[in-house]
Structure 1
Amino acid sequence: MSVLVVGAGASGLHAVQTLLERGAQVTLVDAGGLHGGYPLRDTPFSELPEALDDPAAFFLGTDFQAVHLPDPGGAREYYGLPPSKDFVFQPAPQPRVLTGDGFAPLRSFTTGGLAEAWTAGAYPFDAADLDGWPITARDLAPYYDLVAQRIGIGGAPDDLSPHLPLHAHLHDPVTLDRASATLLDSYTTRRTALQKALPGFRLGRSRQATLAEDREGRCGCTLCGRCLWGCPTGALYTPGQTLVALLDHPGLTYLPHLAAEALEGDGTGRIATLRVRRRDGATLHLKADRFLLSCGTLETGRLVLQTLAERNDAAPRLTGLMDNRQVLAPFLNLAMLGRGAPVDAYQYHQLAMGLAATPDRPYVHGQITTFTAGDLHPVLQQLPLPLPAASAVLARLRSGLGVVNLNFHDTRRDGNWLTLEPGTDGPVLSARYRPPAGERPRIRAALRDLGRAFRMMRAPLAPGMTHIRPMGASVHYTGTLPMAQAETPLTTSPDGALRGFTNVHVADGSVFPALPAKNLTFTLMANAARVADALPLAQRT
C-alpha cells in the first residue's frame, strides 16, 4: 500500500514515522528542504560574538533586517525571530498569495514548518479541552505517550497536573534559570494564600520538548543560551530531526521543493494523483493509493479548495477558521533586582500557569519567560526617560523582567473562513477572521486575576505594557475541515477521512473542532500519529 503524505511539518513527519512503522510505502512531498544547522555547536552565547566570522550579519542580518528602530505608534511585541531563523519563512517554491481580513497569518514552507522556530511548549489536552470533540482524552493518550517517547519532553507533577495530564516518557526538565526559580519559590511560599484569594490560579513547571540529558544520539541542554538563535546541539526538538532520522528508511521516498497544486481524480470517485509544480515550473503528477494532507491549516485548505474548484468550477468557503488570541503581559520580579541574569541559560519558558475555567471564561493557559530571550527595545522606548537614563535603568531592571504569554480558547464560527478568489497570477487564498463576542471582557478579567496573583508573588505586572497580539500572531490555525461524527460535507471523520473523497485523509490542525487555550503542537503530532495509525492499509481490490 502506497501513501503520499503532503507536508513535512510537525504533523506530517509524525504521520510518516507512524506509517513507516506500520510497513507502508510512503512518499513525502515537501515544499521546502532540510536546513543546514547552526554554526559553532559547542560555543555558548557569551562567547559567540568573538567566535563568529561575521557577528553583525548573524545577530543583525546581512541587510540589518533585525534592527528595530523606535516606533512610538508600533506594536509592543516582545518576541521576534533573529536572522539565523530567516529560513523558517523562506518563500514557497511557487508564489502562494494569501490575503487576510482581520487576520495576519505567518506561513512557513521550510521542512519542519513553523515548529522549526517554536519554543518547545508541549502541553497535552485534557478531557475538558476535548469536550464536544468526537474523540476523547483516552483516544489521544497512547499517542501522547508515543510522541513523548520519540521527541523527549521534560516536566514534573505539580499544581498544573490537573490541567496538564501526566503521560509516559516524561523526563526531568532543564535546570531552572535563577529568575524562574525565584518566582516558583515565591509561588510555593504563598500557595495557601494564593489559592484562597484566587482558587483558579495555578503555577508550575512548563512542559518542554527539550532534553536535560543526553539521549539516543541527541545531546542534553548545555545551557549555552542560544535557544532563540537556534539550538546548536539538538537538545530542543524540531521536526527536521525526525526527517533526518527517517531519510535512510527503505520505505520512504522524500521529494523536496515541490509545491502541491491539486488532487486529481480517476473518474471513479477516487483521487489518483497529486499535481505538483517544481521550482523550474515543470508539472508532475504523483500517484498513490492513499493521500494524507498535513500541510498546515492554511495550505491544506488551499489544496482542498483548489481541488474542489477544479471539480465544481467554483471554490466553496471552508468556515470555522480559529486561532488563539495571545496577550503579552510583562512583569517585574522584585526578588531578582540587583542579582544579575546570566545569558548562558535556557532562554524559553520554564514555568507555566493556568486560570481555571469559570462560568464566563474557558481555561486560560500561560507561558512565563524571563527576558533573557526577550526583545527589550519595546520596554526601553516606553520608559519616560531620555535614552541614556532609560538604558541605565533598564540594565538594572533586566534581571527581574519577564513576560507572561496568555493564550485564550477559540471556537468555530461561520463568519471566519478560507476561500479562493481570482487573482492576476492565479487563485488567491483569502482568510477572514472576526473575534468572538465578549472577548475583551474575558481578557480584562483574566488580566485582573493574573495581576492580583503576580502582585501576591512580588512580581507585579508592568503598568501600561500589556500587549494584545493581532490575530494570526500565535500561528495556531485550525478548524476548517473539522472532525465530526455527522456525515457533513467539508468535514473529516474522527479518524481523519475527508468526506467527499474515498482515499484522502487529513492530519493537521484543519481537523480540530475547537481550539483550547494551550499551545497545540504536541497535540498536532499526537493526533497525526493517531490518524496515521488508523489509516486503512489494505490493498485496493
Structure 2
Amino acid sequence: MAETEIEQTEVVIVGAGPSGAIMAHTLAKAGIKVTCLEQGDWISPADYAANFDMWELVARGHWATEANSRANPADYPLELSETDLPPSMYSAVGGSTIHFGALWPRLTVSDFRVKTIDNIADDWPITYHDLVPYFDEVDNFIGVSGLEGDPAYPDGLAPPQPAHPLGKAGMRTAQALNQLGWHWWPGANAIPTQKNGELAACVRYGTCVQGCPQGAKASFDLAYWPAAIAAGAKLITGARVSEITTDENGLANGVNYFFKGQKKHLKSNYVVMCANGIGTPRLLLLSKSDKHPNGLANSSGLVGKNLMLHPNCCALGYYEDDLETWRGPLGAVISSMEFYETKEENGFVRGAKLHASTAPGLILNGIDPHRLLPFDELWGEAFHGVVKDATSAILWAANIEDLPEESNCVTLDDTLVDGDGIPCPKVNYRFSENTLKIREFTLQKMVDAHKMAGAKKVIPVLEMPGEPGHLLGTTRMGNDPNASVVDSMGRAHDVPNLLIADGSIFVTSGSANPTSTICALALRIGRNLVDVIQNQKT
C-alpha cells in the first residue's frame, strides 16, 4: 500500500476526547497550526438512544459501553482473557464523554501525596494547588453546576452554576447521611443548570449516560470542539493512527494513519497523545524504532504498566413512596467523601468515593438482570409493581480507588488485530487484595445508607462490568526518567517533542471521577506547549 504524504502541521493530536479537545482549543487560540486525528466520527445527538421510546434497549447495541460488545467500525477489539474488569471506552469526537454521567469531582489534596501520607505508591510531581487555576478555568468554560464550600476540598472551590435540585431522592438520602453522621455535599456535575455556550440548560430528562436529547450534558463534542474548530483547529475523523514516526535523532516527526483504507503520513513538529490509558500505551508500543527498540518513550519500561480502572460497585434501593426516580440528572445528586481517606481501623489503605443518584428506566430499576425476576412476575398485574418500583428507587454507586501495580498492564496481543491490521491491546488486570477489601466495605456502607433512609428492599451489586471507563496510569508522570514516562508537563523524558495529556499520566487514581482532573492537566500541558512554541519563534 503506497504511503501518501500530506501537509505538515505544527502539532498533531491523537484522540478527540476531552483532553484532545482542550489541547486543540488551547493551541488554536494561540495561533498554532494544530490537527487532531480521531478514529471515530461525530455523533449526532438525534441518534442518541435516549431519543427513542425503547431507549434502554437501543442503548445495549450500538451504544454499549464495552468496545468488544459494541464492535462499531471505529472500535478496536481488546484481548481480555486476563482481566477481572472489562474496560469501557468510546471512539468518537468527544470520546467516552459521549457515555459519561458527567460527575465532576476533582482529585483531592491527598491524592497527589499518597506516598507522603500513607507510605504507599508514589507522590505526583505536582500538587492539587498547581492545578487549581486550570480546574477553575475548565469549570467556567463548560458551566459546571454545584455548590461552593464542600469541606472535602480546600477553600475556593466554587462551581460557576447553581447545583441541581436535590429532589425527593436527594433529600431522602441526605437526611439518612445526616443521621449516620457522614459527609455529603450536592454533587458537582458537568451539566449546566443555565444555558452555557453550546450547552442548553438541563431539563432533568435523567438519561445522561444514554445521551442528552436537550444537549445539556458537557460531552466534549459539544462543550469544547465547536470552540476549538472556530479558533482554527483542524479535526479529521475516521483516522486511525498506526505509528508515531521518529527521525534519525529519535525525535517525533509525525504520525502514520489509515483513512478510508489509505495509509497517510502527517508531518509535525510535536505529537500530543490523548488516546486514553489503553490507546496511548498501545500506540507507543507500536512505535518501535532503532532508537526506541522497546517502544517509544519506554526506556523506563513503564509504558503500559500500572493500569488503574476504578472498579465500581453499587446498591439499588427500593422505597415505598414515589421518589420521582425519572427526574435527572443521573450523575450525582449528592456525593460523599466519608470513606475517601485511609482509616487504619478499616483494614485497608485509601478508600472510595460514593455518589447517590436517581435511577431512571424500567430495565435498570425493574427488569434488571440483578433482580432475576421470574417471567410471570414481569407481566400482567405484576408489571404494575415493576413500574412502581421504577419510580421509587435510589442508586448508590462508588468508585473504588485502585493502587498502581505494574502487573496490571496494557501490552500488544500477538494475534488480535483491528480493521486495519494493527495489533490490538491485551489488557491484564486483576483486583488486588486491598481493592477487594475496599469494595466489600464500601458496598456494605451503601446498604447501610439505604437502610437508614428506609428502603424496603436493597440489591447490592458487587461487580459492574463495563463501568466506569476510567483508564489511568499507563504512562505515569514523574521527575525521575527511570521511574516515569513523562515529566510534570506531560513531556516524554525520552522524546521531548512527544507529549501525553490524557488519564494515562496519572500517578495514582484517587477514587474521584477523573475527567475534571484530566481536563485540568490537559489545559496546563497545552498552555506550557504554547509558551514553548512561541518562545521558539521569537
TM-score, normalization by structure 2:
0.83
Displacement of 1:40: 11
Give yes or no for contact 2:242–2:286 (8 Å, CA) kept in 1.
Answer: yes
| Amino acid of the structure 2 residue aligned with 1:458 | G
Q: Render the CA deviation track for 1:92-115: whole Å, top value 9, x for unaligned.
A: 767734212114222321111111
Residue 487 of structure 1: which of 481, 491, 499 is its match? 481
Displacement of 1:492: 0.6
Residue 169 of structure 2: which of 173, 179, 183 is its match? 179
Displacement of 1:430: 1.1
Give yes or no for contact 1:415–1:432 (8 Å, CA) kept in 2.
Answer: yes
| Structure 1, unaligned runs of 5 or more | 50-54, 62-80, 196-200
Which residue pairs with 1:155 in the alignment? 146
| Structure 2, unaligned runs of 5 or more | 1-8, 114-122, 296-300
1:539 aligns with 2:536: yes
Give yes or no for contact 2:48–2:212 (8 Å, CA) kept in 1.
Answer: no
Displacement of 1:382: 3.3
Give the superposed CA RMSD.
Answer: 3.0
Which residue pairs with 1:12 in the alignment? 20
Q: How does 1:319-468 map to 2 (within 5 A)?
A: 319-333=305-319, 337-339=320-322, 341=324, 343=326, 345-356=328-339, 357=341, 358-359=343-344, 360-373=348-361, 374-378=364-368, 381-383=371-373, 386-387=376-377, 388=379, 390-423=382-415, 425-459=421-455, 462=458, 465-468=459-462
1:286 aligns with 2:266: yes
**Residues 1:224 and 1:112: Cα distance change in structure 2 (over 3 Å):** same
Distance in 1, Cα, partners of 2:155 & 2:213:
30
Give yes or no for contact 1:289–1:540 (8 Å, CA) kept in 2.
Answer: no
Distance in 2, Cα, partners of 1:484 & 1:34:
35
Q: How does 1:94-173 map to 2 (within 5 A)?
A: 96-100=76-80, 101-102=82-83, 103-131=85-113, 132-157=123-148, 160-163=150-153, 166-173=156-163
**Residues 1:446 and 1:4: Cα distance change in structure 2 (over 3 Å):** same
Q: Render the CA deviation track for 1:311-366: whole Å, top value 9, x for unaligned.
A: 55555662111110111111234xxx243627455444312222332123413101
Give the SS at the match of 1:331: strand
Displacement of 1:181: 2.7
Q: Render the CA deviation track for 1:63-103: whole Å, top value 9, x for unaligned.
A: xxxxxxxxxxxxxxxxxx45684699675767734212114
Distance in 2, Cα, partners of 1:194 & 1:301:
43
Give yes or no for contact 1:324–1:410 (8 Å, CA) kept in 2.
Answer: yes
What is the identity percentage for the equivalent residue pairs of Structure 1 and Structure 2? 20
Give yes or no for contact 1:203–1:351 (8 Å, CA) kept in 2.
Answer: yes
Which residue pairs with 2:119 in the alignment? none
Displacement of 1:165: 6.5
**Residues 1:381 and 1:524: Cα distance change in structure 2 (over 3 Å):** same
Give the SS at the match of 1:377: coil
Segment of structure 1 superposing worse, 319-328 or 443-452: 443-452
Segment of structure 1 superposing worse, 118-127 or 381-390: 381-390
Displacement of 1:37: 1.8
Which residue pairs with 1:69 in the alignment? none
Q: Render the CA deviation track for 1:374-423: whole Å, top value 9, x for unaligned.
A: 35322784357941465343333333312211111111112111111322
Displacement of 1:476: 0.7
**Residues 1:379 and 1:93: Cα distance change in structure 2 (over 3 Å):** closer
Distance in 2, Cα, partners of 1:460 & 1:327:
20
Give yes or no for contact 1:271–1:503 (8 Å, CA) kept in 2.
Answer: yes
Segment of structure 1 superposing worse, 452-461 or 300-309: 452-461
Which residue pairs with 2:523 in the alignment? 529
1:202 aligns with 2:202: no
Segment of structure 1 superposing worse, 287-296 or 222-231: 222-231
**Residues 1:38 and 1:150: Cα distance change in structure 2 (over 3 Å):** same
| Amino acid of the structure 1 residue aligned with 2:94 | G
Displacement of 1:153: 0.8
Distance in 2, Cα, partners of 1:319 & 1:88:
21
| Amino acid of the structure 1 residue aligned with 2:383 | S
**Residues 1:269 and 1:124: Cα distance change in structure 2 (over 3 Å):** same
Q: Render the CA deviation track for 1:271-293: whole Å, top value 9, x for unaligned.
A: 112111112x2111111111111
Give yes or no for contact 1:10–1:239 (8 Å, CA) kept in 2.
Answer: yes
Distance in 2, Cα, partners of 1:229 & 1:135:
35
| Amino acid of the structure 2 residue aligned with 1:539 | Q
Displacement of 1:265: 1.2
Q: How does 1:222-371 map to 2 (within 5 A)?
A: 222-241=203-222, 242-250=224-232, 252-279=233-260, 281-308=261-288, 312=292, 318-333=304-319, 337-339=320-322, 341=324, 343=326, 345-356=328-339, 357=341, 358-359=343-344, 360-371=348-359
Give yes or no for contact 2:202–2:214 (8 Å, CA) kept in 1.
Answer: yes
Distance in 2, Cα, partners of 1:7 & 1:397:
41
Displacement of 1:39: 6.8
Distance in 2, Cα, partners of 1:481 & 1:39:
35
Give yes or no for contact 1:211–1:235 (8 Å, CA) kept in 2.
Answer: yes
Which residue pairs with 1:26 in the alignment? 34
Give yes or no for contact 1:296–1:509 (8 Å, CA) kept in 2.
Answer: yes
**Residues 1:37 and 1:407: Cα distance change in structure 2 (over 3 Å):** same
Distance in 2, Cα, partners of 1:451 & 1:95:
37
Give yes or no for contact 2:23–2:522 (8 Å, CA) kept in 1.
Answer: yes
| Amino acid of the structure 1 residue aligned with 2:247 | D
Displacement of 1:458: 2.7
| Amino acid of the structure 1 residue aligned with 2:164 | V
Which residue pairs with 2:120 in the alignment? none
Which residue pairs with 2:6 in the alignment? none
